[in-house]
Chains A and B, each alone.
Chain A
């Protein structure tokens, strides 16, 4: 697994899945990097998108709106979105906002790719 250091989203591909390693901060400042990551995802022969939250330590309402945007686009393109590595707190936010109803949530990347 590739080590992520910079505060931008990184995209990896694995067997039809595009894995997006999200930056530590998902707020207004993450908009550009998320857009770039999504464009990159579109290039591949991606069947599904896995959002990896393992590094995320801050998720604001603006960040939620960005995730909603990614989810909306990929649903339009017919690509399911998975999420992994959510902390308990972010997981609760996913429940409250009902994002959890629209993406399958896994404890970590390995479980997501196996599932």
Chain B
């Protein structure tokens, strides 16, 4: 620290007083003093710390490399700058203009000058240090924003909607974003892959490895293969590319929602817990984290989630959170809460509440927390198919879809306002399927399926535009449109989103399916009250 400051005094022109500043005519002679490093062990430091006032270098009997250096560049007198008892720099002076020795008056003047300059120099040093700190902090915050952006981009926007199942997901980034991820991948055979993972480390590097891993698994999963094979391929892929000392823990499970069968493999990730009527079960399968070494085999296990069972997938950010006295939240606590009655969102809320009670209000989250619950409903889903049909992809057919769906839901006695919303959402979705998904090619049909159950009506509209994802609904900028800065169009998705109670988009290699969900119980408050102005 000290050496650094002294070095800065010598090396920079802005804040450091210069030896040559005393006799102006002599500028240039000792002006361009090259930076002189004073080693922390150099005896001159200890000497100057104890002296006050100017020191004539010629009289100094010290075996000091710094003194030799100073003499070499023509310094005659050094005046230590001491602030609050600490040596913070040196004022170095060359010979006097008159070539006479420095008088005792000169020395007194220099001593006074040094005592007044020292605090000012110290302040300047502190300001610089603080500026450097601010810049460093800004860089770090910028990096965190990037990491957060990557993270958000690669987490699912929605949880899958499966008849007879309730899936809930929760993710909360730590201050220094970690590398947690989770994913749901619809597989061609009607099963669904559930993925939870955790990349070692934090910030942008972890976020990038997370994005890579997630993309690789997403691409590999539909190509077939058992969970152990998918993990083995992901491991070989990552091992080739991953930075040294980074690895990824990952649980990969494939659920068949029709019968509750779950096949899974685990690359060193926290074990999932399943609450059954018989008690809590840990789903065990062994395997090394991804990316550590190539050619690893993963054990594969199987479990059947029965009616009313609930599974929790989690990352270590929860169980390994520390309380104020460094105690860990711990797996037993997590298990205890899972064993309680709560399901889905409720269980997630309870886990987070307990964590908060445990850690206290002052707690800074140490690592990302990811929680995914998969709950099977206690009774077989009483889903009724109200009807299904296809229409050709021709402009205007969206109205036919709208009328037929309105006809199919008639027996449900939905209130008139809601039917209007449903009709708008259905026709807009069908129009997107006809025009964008199927590109107005009549030979590509749009399939429509209308189901009811659990007090909801679900309308699934599929086209053949799979492979590319449907964009997120953006809120259109009406001002920009009115000013002619944007096209007047672009209202469809936004409108749909505002008409439905829920909306799920799934994409596989071939199909896009948009499922519109309407809650039959929920009464519409009616947004448009009197608005005369």
Contacts and interface: CB of A to CB of B under 8 A. Distances in A.
A92 interface: yes
Given A68-B488, A88-B528, A106-B532, A61 B395 contact: no
A68 B481 CA distance: 7
Given A65-B489, A104-B533, A106-B532, A93 B495 contact: yes
A13 to B, nearest CB: 24
B356 interface: no
Contact of A95 (B395, B482, B483, B527): B527
Contacts of A58: 399, 427
Nearest to A59: B424
Contact of B495 (A61, A69, A100): A61
Contact of A72 (B398, B483, B495, B531): B483
B528 A92 contact: yes
Interface in B126-145: none
A56 B149 CA distance: 44
A19 interface: no
Interface string A73-114: 001100000000001110111111111111011100000000
Given A89-B421, A92-B526, A104 B532 contact: yes
Nearest to A71: B482
Contacts of A59: 424
B488 A65 contact: yes
Contacts of A72: 481-484, 488
A61 B399 contact: no
A66 B481 CA distance: 11
A61 B492 contact: yes
Contacts of A87: 420
A68 B482 contact: yes
B431 interface: yes
Contacts of A42: none
B528 A95 contact: yes
Interface string B409-445: 0000000010011001001100100000000000000
Given A60-B427, A93-B495, A94-B528, A88 B417 contact: yes
Which of B421, B424, B484, B526 has the most chain A CB within a 10 Å cutoff?
B424
Interface string A44-63: 00000000000000111110
B396 interface: yes
Nearest to A106: B532
B476 interface: yes
B478 interface: yes
Contacts of B490: 65
Range, interface on chain A:
35 or more
A60 B494 CA distance: 12
Tell me whether chain A's interface is mostly helix, strand or loop, or mixed.
Answer: helix
A64 B495 contact: yes
Contacts of A101: 478
A68 B478 contact: yes
Interface string B483-506: 110011111101100100000000
B531 A97 contact: no
A29 interface: yes
Interface string B359-398: 0000000000000000000000000000000000001101
A96 B399 contact: no
A27 B431 CA distance: 11
Given A72-B484, A97-B476, A64 B528 contact: no
Contacts of B532: 104-106, 115
Contacts of B417: 88-89
Contacts of A28: 395
A90 B77 CA distance: 89
B152 to A, nearest CB: 26
A95 B481 CA distance: 16
Given A60-B431, A97-B476, A75 B531 contact: no
B344 to A, nearest CB: 29
B531 A105 contact: yes
B432 to A, nearest CB: 9
A70 to B, nearest CB: 9
A64 B424 CA distance: 12
Contacts of B478: 68, 97-99, 101-102
Contacts of B424: 59, 89, 93
Contacts of B531: 91, 95, 100, 105
Contacts of A97: 476, 478, 491, 494-495
Nearest to A104: B533
B482 A65 contact: no
A64 B431 CA distance: 14
A110 B498 CA distance: 31
A61 B532 CA distance: 24
A94 B478 CA distance: 12
Nearest to B483: A72
B498 A96 contact: yes
Contacts of A100: 528, 531
Given A28-B395, A96-B527, A75 B482 contact: yes
B400 to A, nearest CB: 12
A18 B292 CA distance: 75
Given A61-B495, A75-B482, 4 more contacts: A69-B488, A91-B528, A92-B527, A98-B478
Interface of B: 395-396, 398-399, 417, 420-421, 424, 427-428, 431, 476, 478, 481-484, 487-492, 494-495, 498, 526-528, 531-533
6 contacts: A61-B431, A68-B482, A72-B488, A87-B420, A92-B527, A105-B531
The 4 A-B residue pairs whose C-beta atoms are closest, nearest first, are: A89-B420, A61-B491, A91-B528, A61-B492
Interface of A: 27-29, 58-62, 64-66, 68-69, 71-72, 75-76, 87-89, 91-102, 104-106, 115
